[in-house]
Amino acid sequence: MHIYLSCDVEGLNGICHSSQTQPQESSYEHMLKIFHDEVNSVIEGLKDARVDKITLADAHWDMRNLQIDRLTSGVSLISGSPRDLSMLSQVKELKPDAIICLGYHAKIGSLNGVLGHTYRAKVFSDVMVNDVSLGELGLNCLLASTLNIPVVLVSGDNVLKEEALALFGRVNFHVSKIAINKYSAIFSPYNENLAMLRANTKTALENKSTWASLTGFKPPYTLKLRFFCPSMADGACLINNVKRLESNLIAFTDDDFEVVFKTMLAMGAIGASRVNNYF
């Protein structure tokens, strides 16, 4: 069995502020220890369940946070950016049996979700597919589902759990911390969280009937992106077939969700180039 692990950091236990997530900040090295500890706990859980192939995708920031020599042996690591399909890079080519979403966070605008955002924190103020607002979890899992790849397990705070249950109805979820607001949380005891994460991974893998897919979305897929600034929408409209609905709201439709997903990523890159710290 081949399991693909998409690894973000805002949903990790012990993380509640942007200063912990950015390479130039003093708390970043401490975050890296937590990151590797949680990833290795999941790997051990996968090995406990006798998974014979594990691929990790570093899915945070510049996607060069995980270090191969600090990971449990026997796993492959996808690192660096930009990457095709971003947080799920190479998933189409690798065709894993299922994915795990570790350290994920709530979508932009979520009440109290720790460090909640959706892909481009300073660019996207909402991302909708067929008029359903989606965060990174929903967007990535919808992409996986269109490729017939189910979700084994998701980890993050309790706000993300509510978001996941609203999307899937039922999904295996590991709660890493309890959110108080965007920049504060109640952390689980460190070693207990690692042990439970390993156990929950093993249990989820061994109960295939609990694996989840997003089945409520059908083509054509209409992406609606609301930007923080109209100038970002100006840039997005340079892409073929993009329609402007409002000053900072655009729409794009295609029957292939991979095309929609990649167009969203391109719009994010264009929007980021138009971020202005003064206006």
- Report whether pLDDT(278) > 90: no
Nearest 5°: phi and psi at 93?
-75, -40
Identify the band that residue 276 occupies on the pLDDT scale cut at 50, 70 and 90.
confident
**Residue 273 burial by CB count (10 A; 0-12/13-18/19+): exposed, middle or buried?**
exposed
Could you tell me whether strands 249-254 and 151-157 are parallel, antiparallel, or unpaired per DSSP bridges? Answer: unpaired
Please choose, from the candidates 120, 115, 103, the residue with its C-alpha nearest in 3D space to the C-alpha of residue 56: 103
Look up the CATH number of domain 2-115+136-210.
3.40.50.10780
- Report whether pLDDT(279) > 90: no
pLDDT digits (tens, 9 = 90+) for 205-242: 999 999 999 999 999 999 999 999 999 999 999 999 99
pTM summary value: 0.97
Query: What is the overall mean pLDDT for the chain?
Result: 97
pLDDT digits (tens, 9 = 90+) for 148-195: 999 999 999 999 999 999 999 999 999 999 999 999 999 999 999 999
Tell me the average pLDDT across 101-118: 98
Tell me the average pLDDT across 261-277: 95
Identify the band that residue 28 occupies on the pLDDT scale cut at 50, 70 and 90.
very high
pLDDT digits (tens, 9 = 90+) for 39-73: 999 999 999 999 999 999 999 999 999 999 999 99
Tokens representing 179 are: 């959110």
Q: Domain residues of the chain, as ranges?
A: 2-115+136-210, 221-272
**SS (HEC) of 206-259:** CCHHHCECCCCCCCCEEEEEEECCHHHHHHHCCCCCCEEEECCEEEEEECCHHH
Confirm if 176 and 193 have CB atoms less than 8 A apart.
yes
- Report whether pLDDT(116) > 90: yes
